[in-house]
A = this chain, B = another copy of it.
Amino acid sequence: MSKSSLLSGVTVIDLSRVLAGPFATMTLANLGARVIKVEIPGTGDDSRAFGPFHNGKSLYFASINCNKESIALNLKNADDRIVFEKLLEKADVLVENYRPGTMEKLGYGWETLHVKFPHLIYGAASGFGDSGPYSKRAAYDMVVQGMGGVLSLTGYPDQPPARVGISIGDITAGLYLTIGLNAALYNRTVTKVGSKIDIAMLDCQVAILEDAIPAYDKTGEIPGPLGTRHPSIAPFQSFQAKDASIIIAAGNDHLFTLMTEALGRTDLATDERFKTNELRHENIALLQKEMEMTLGTKLVAEWLDALNEKGVPCGPINDIPHVIADPQVMARNMIIEVNDPVIGKVKTSGNPVKVVGASDETLLRPSPELDADRAAILAEFMGVSK
């Protein structure tokens, strides 16, 4: 990490597994924090067993755990508890994503830790949070995607809903956890004491529903899935061109006029049925038909050139190989290559929080083997090497 990393000097002890917690600590590590994974001896983070594998190592685990150290500790073992407490003594942040109540059973509930280590900031992510009737239930990503409403908005009308193709339930919780932890780090510089951040995956799904809740509350209309269409802006969706789909987002009257010029269909700009966004939204089926009559005559690449020249927001639907090869994605260091001793060189996502003037390192420390940093950590925190 560069010297100018925003969180340099911050140490995070990370008990979390799989995704929401590890995604948060990956984000903290990308910002320059030191992250020490405390894993279960023998098996470690469950996601070490998630496929696909390469040379026997999980690519899933590798994608979420770069820039972290690992020590295996059994928190029910008296000797290991001494080590764990030494870590907490010197650390700034503790992260866990157990089911609520688990840390209390281990004797490491917030009430206890806050008395013993008043400086310590504690971040917890769980399916439903520390309170409420479902608190003790487990949840996985797909469960909260469904319960939180996002699934009911994704897919095509009159078809079964589609899952958001990434684990948005976990990832959103990881991002909100990171937000809370960073705010708590700032707050500690004022108050001198740590806080506990309690993140529920379900809460985070509700928080990202945009205007769906007030719109339903006042109009009584239940929003549903719309394919690729936007609920209120048109044209703002994918269309069929000659070879593939193209996205065109002409979000206002001016952009719509420019779009009709790029398509050579200025007749659409003066058509009474398409004169305002409201009318275009109302008559979108007709507009789509008219646009696709023209779009179907040329390739996506040709239309992108024509639309970009006019300044109309547009884009292809990229699959993963095309994402990796995109010149903008590459120019922003968003694909980085990690030199993993087991996997070999492997591409993974970069850090999207760019700090102007700071170095944006492209060679990451690979995800650690289980317990790989035991000796160094013990020497540093316990003053021994064993």
Contacts of A165 in B (CB 8 A): 150-155, 223, 225-226
A353 and B197 contact, CB distance less than 8 A = yes
A182 CB within 8 Å of chain B: yes
* Identity of the chain B residue whose Cβ is nearest the Cβ of A185 in the assembled complex: B186
For residue A315, CB closer than 8 A to chain B, the reply is yes
A82 at the interface (CB under 8 A from B): no
A137 partner residues in chain B, CB cutoff 8 A: 308, 311, 313
* Given A196-B356, A245-B161, A356-B130: A140 in contact with B7 (beta carbons within 8 A): no
A235 nearest CB across to chain B (Å) = 10
A window 216-253: CB within 8 A of B: 216-219, 222-230, 232, 236-238, 245, 247, 249, 251
Q: Is the CB of A318 within 8 A of B195?
A: no
Do the beta carbons of A332 and B179 come within 8 Å of each other?
no
Query: Is the pair A59, B346 in contact by a Cβ cutoff of 8 Å?
Result: no
Is the Cβ of A224 less than 8 Å from the Cβ of B319? yes
Tell me, in angstroms, the Cα distance from A76 to B207 when the chains sit together.
Answer: 36
- B residues less than 8 Å from A225 (CB atoms): 162, 165
**A238 pairs with B63, CB closer than 8 A:** no
In the assembled complex, which residues on chain B have CB atoms less than 8 Å from the CB atom of A238?
Answer: 142, 146, 151, 160-161, 163
**A128-B328, A197-B353, A356-B195 known; A146-B317 Cβ under 8 A:** yes
Whether, in the assembled complex, A11 has its beta carbon less than 8 Å from a beta carbon of chain B, the answer is: no
Say which one of A49-57, A259-267, A289-297, A377-385 lies at the interface with B: A49-57
Q: A354 in the interface, Cβ–Cβ < 8 Å?
A: yes
Residues of chain B contacted by A135 (CB below 8 angstroms): 328
Flag whether A21 is at the interface (Cβ < 8 A).
no
Q: Is A70 an interface residue (CB 8 A)?
A: no
Contact between chains at B160 and A245 (CB < 8 Å): yes
Report the Cα distance A320→B150, complex, angstroms: 9
A94 in contact (CB, < 8 A): no
B154 near A320: Cβ-Cβ < 8 Å: no
Question: Which listed residue, B143, B167, B318, touches A314 by the CB 8 Å rule?
Answer: B143
Q: Say whether A317 contacts B161, CB under 8 Å.
A: yes
Q: When the two chains form their complex, are residues A146 and B315 in contact, meaning their CB atoms are under 8 A apart?
A: yes
Chain B positions within 8 Å of A195 at CB level: 6, 355-358
- Given the known inter-chain contacts A199-B353, A318-B152, A356-B198, please indicate yes or no for A228 contacting B160, CB distance below 8 A: yes
A349 within 8 Å of B by Cβ? yes
B175 touches A331 (CB 8 A): no
What are the residues of chain B within 8 A of A117 when measuring CB–CB? none
A180: which B residues are within 8 A, CB to CB? 6, 31, 353, 355
Write the nearest CB–CB distance from A377 to chain B, whole angstroms: 24
* CB atoms of A326 and B147 under 8 A apart: yes
Are A151 and B317 in contact (CB-based, < 8 A)? yes
Residue on B nearest A148 in the bound complex, by CB: B323
Residues of B with C-beta under 8 A to A222: 319-321
Q: Given contacts A141-B230, A214-B348, could you give 14 more A-B pairs where the C-beta distance is less than 8 Å?
A: A6-B187, A6-B195, A62-B214, A133-B327, A137-B313, A149-B323, A153-B165, A153-B166, A155-B165, A183-B185, A197-B353, A208-B349, A213-B347, A222-B320
The 9 closest A-B pairs by CB, nearest first: A153-B165, A132-B331, A182-B182, A196-B356, A203-B352, A6-B183, A154-B165, A140-B249, A63-B211
- Listed by A's residue number, 18 A-B pairs whose Cβ atoms lie within 8 Å are A52-B218, A52-B219, A54-B219, A62-B211, A137-B311, A141-B230, A148-B318, A153-B166, A154-B165, A156-B160, A156-B162, A161-B245, A171-B208, A179-B182, A195-B356, A200-B332, A214-B348, A223-B320
